[in-house]
Structure 1
Amino acid sequence: MPPLQITYNKACQMLDVSRDTLRVLIRRDPSFPRPLKYCDTRQAPVYFDYAELIEWHSKRKVQS
């Protein structure tokens, strides 16, 4: 069973992009999945929904 959520660093590894590139995707691509934070503090970890990332990547492959 795939994970439900993955960390920021795992998302970078999964998409084979740098942290800066992932930040740019979040900022500029409205179709990119929004990061999830379970706390309002600045140091709270950021997660992404695994299924949303897979779906975004699949749609992007079809467009290419």
Structure 2
Amino acid sequence: MQDLNLSNQVTPLRLSQKTTCQVLDLTAEGLRKLIAKDPTFPKPYKAGQTRQAPVYFDYAELVQWHNNQKQTNTMQSV
């Protein structure tokens, strides 16, 4: 597994589906279910028009979604 410590690197603009799964500690199926279940989760986008085009997620949107989840969970536990 690659080192996912992104703080020592340039901030990425996009993450592949595989990297997104690794960062969120989800399987591909878990990510698919999260996308279907949570309307606030960032929508993936394709880098092309073909069916085989890779799928990416916007890094800044993922970070914002994560921060919103943390804030929501903190407010619910109070």
TM-score, normalised to structure 2's length?
0.77
In the alignment, what sits opposite 2:28? 19
Per-residue Cα deviation, 1:19-59 (whole angstroms, up to 9, x for no partner): 11100111121100000112121111000000000000111
Q: Report percent identity of matched pairs.
A: 50
In the alignment, what sits opposite 2:42? 33
In the alignment, what sits opposite 2:58? 49
How far apart, in 1, do the equivalents of 2:28 and 2:38 lie? 15
SS in 2 for 1:17: coil
TM-score, normalised to structure 1's length?
0.92
Select the structure of larger CA radius of gyration: 2
In the alignment, what sits opposite 2:71? 62
Q: Aligned pair count? A: 64
Higher relative contact order (CA 8 A, sep 6+): 1
Unaligned segments of structure 1, at least 5 residues? none
Pairwise CA RMSD: 0.9
| Structure 1 stretches of at least 4 aligned residues deviating more than 2 Å after TM superposition | none
